[in-house]
Structure 1
């Protein structure tokens, strides 16, 4: 039972829960990016390249063996077009994360660069400043003559 208690303490820590939320949001974000690439970017790339569909590009290592309509041995292929599309997915995700981190860093920098507003001097501080200025004026070379 001690191990269950220890596991519960581990699982309920704030950073573990934050990480779990990050994983769920990351998975959803990955689906959004995949849809963006599959449904918007790659069709436009296909039109720009004369109707090519990258998911159809592959290098066939071994053709399928057929017996009529029945597949005896499936085709063995390297689907490099799908790989290119996955790289585009990655680049978009990486760019979005870069922009988000850059934005967060700018906010942090602004927060640390902004000096705290100076508090108004108290009455005692004003009097001490006046006394200091008077003493400086008395000890200046012009007043010693």
Structure 2
């Protein structure tokens, strides 16, 4: 069982997947910071100094020990923008990778050898031309 596990781990696909997950996690943090710290404050400023983190719909006010019940739709909007940026960057990266891939060179088919009849007819034609 240990040998099978070792073969599984050493496979290129598993290692590639592990690298992709690690880089994806780091990239997700960068995009989240871009959205939370740069894009959303700019959009909030353009919309009249709105802080999207505080946008909520209160269903029930807080009373005593019970906290308020609210729907935080501002966070949802931020997550949608976050997702759209990640999806767009992945789309662009895939397009670049596809363009960088070498296209297979077209295979030129070897000319078909003429049949015996064609060769004989060509010889007869050449002999007739000489006469």
Q: TM-score range by the shorter chain?
A: 0.7 to 0.9
Secondary structure of 2:13 counterpart: helix
How far apart are 1:9 and its partner, in Å?
2.2
Aligned with residue 15 of structure 2, among 17, 30, 50 = 17
User: Which stretches in structure 1 are left out of the alignment for 5+ residues?
Assistant: 67-71, 117-134
1:92 aligns with 2:92: no
Q: Residue in 1 aligned with 2:116?
A: none
Q: 79, 85, 88: which one pairs with 2:72?
A: 79
Aligned-residue CA RMSD (Å): 2.5
> Which secondary structure does the structure 2 equivalent of 1:77 belong to?
strand
Residue in structure 2 matched with residue 38 of structure 1 by the alignment: 36
| Rounded Cα–Cα distance in structure 2 between residues aligned with 1:21 and 1:35 | 21
Q: State the TM-score, normalized to the length of structure 1.
A: 0.70
- Give the distance between the partners of 1:26 and 1:9, measured in 2 at CA: 25
Distance 1:114 1:38 in 2: 46
TM-score, scaled relative to structure 2 = 0.77
Alignment of 1:109-120 (within 5 A): 111-112=102-103
Unmatched tracts of structure 2, length 5 or more: 108-121
- SS of the counterpart of 2:103? helix
